[in-house]
Amino acid sequence: MSFVWTIAEQYEGRLRGVSFELLSRGRALADELGTKLASVVIGHGVTEESLTELIHRGADEVYSIQDPRLADFVSESYSRILADLVETYQPAIILAAATSSGRTLMPYVAIKVNTGLTADCTELAIEEGTGNLLQTRPAIGGNIMATIKTPDHRPQMSTVRPKSSRPLPADSTRVGKIVEVPVEDRYIDERVRVLGYRTDEEDFANIEEADVVIAGGKGMKKADNFSMLRKIADHFDGVVGASRDAVDRGWIGYPHQIGLSGKTISPRLYIGAGISGSIQHLAGIKTSETIVSINNDPDASIHKVADFGIVGDLFEVLPELQRRLNELPREAQ
């Protein structure tokens, strides 16, 4: 029986939330196909309790591959392991997160196992009759949704946007199997050694995983004004995003860019200030749960996609928003 697989992500031994989101996607597909769902965990220091949580949240089996040499994500080593596992177990479908590591790892694996890969899917379904995976993602600047199939090769591989699904509630009565996969020396690429991480905000802007993104565009006028956005983002434990125009002007770093040539985000709340709403920018925010636009042009395109459109001068609206947030008790923010 060919299983559906999800690739869990860990950092310093802790599973990332996206690992559980993927399981809810995988569970639906496995049920539809009448097969089992397995989750693959590569890393170091992931506890038995965390591995069991994967079972509680939908997995039937967990393949755990752990070694101190795998503590850091190294695509060369991780892809060797995955390619080997694919050869051994022949899964039908592999889902990974469309995060920096998922986006790096999956193309490596797809090449090694000679199959296709659809990046950044927002919808997944099973085609009636054939059982093929239907992989849907925005295309042509977000103007159309394209559905892609991999009919002739296996496994069918997709990366799935973080925050595009919710984890299943943990069910402690679910039982499953944890398989410890031995680590072979040939898996480890000794040429690559992680010396450390840069953790300054510019390079580590995790806007893809943030629940709240406050973005600024050309209407912000200058770099200093982005501090207004940062203060509001801090209220929500959110992060600051930007249009390409703001990034091109050097007001904020590229990791903050949202859109076609930047990042795709799916926060619970997106606020765009001084952003016109070009097709390319909208491509990156379409799956946001709630969109708020602040723009003094009533005809700005961003107002058309917004759940709440504020027509006004951002230099009046943002301070007022900040003032109201300051008045709220912390737990209500």
Residues that bind ligand FAD (CB under 6 A): 217-219, 243-246, 257-262, 274-276, 278, 280-281, 284, 294-297, 300, 313-315
Smallest gap from Cβ 314 to ligand FAD, in A, equals 4
Nearer to ligand FAD, 3 or 251 (CB): 251
Nearer to ligand FAD, 96 or 215 (CB): 215
Compute the C-alpha angle 292/223/300, nearest 5°: 35
SS3 at position 50:
helix
Smallest gap from Cβ 227 to ligand FAD, in A, equals 16
C-alpha to C-alpha distances, 179 to 23, 40, 62, 81, 285, nearest whole angstrom: 17, 10, 6, 14, 39
Nearer to ligand FAD, 239 or 260 (CB): 260
| Rounded Cα gap, residues 71 and 52, in angstroms | 19
| Rounded Cα gap, residues 79 and 56, in angstroms | 27
Q: What are the structure tokens assigned to 40, written together?
A: 């693959």
Nearer to ligand FAD, 4 or 318 (CB): 318
C-beta of residue 192 within 8 angstroms of C-beta of residue 77: yes
Side chain identity, residue 163: K
Smallest gap from Cβ 268 to ligand FAD, in A, equals 20
Smallest gap from Cβ 211 to ligand FAD, in A, equals 21
Smallest gap from Cβ 135 to ligand FAD, in A, equals 22
Closest CA to 232 of 167, 326, 148: 326
Nearer to ligand FAD, 75 or 278 (CB): 278
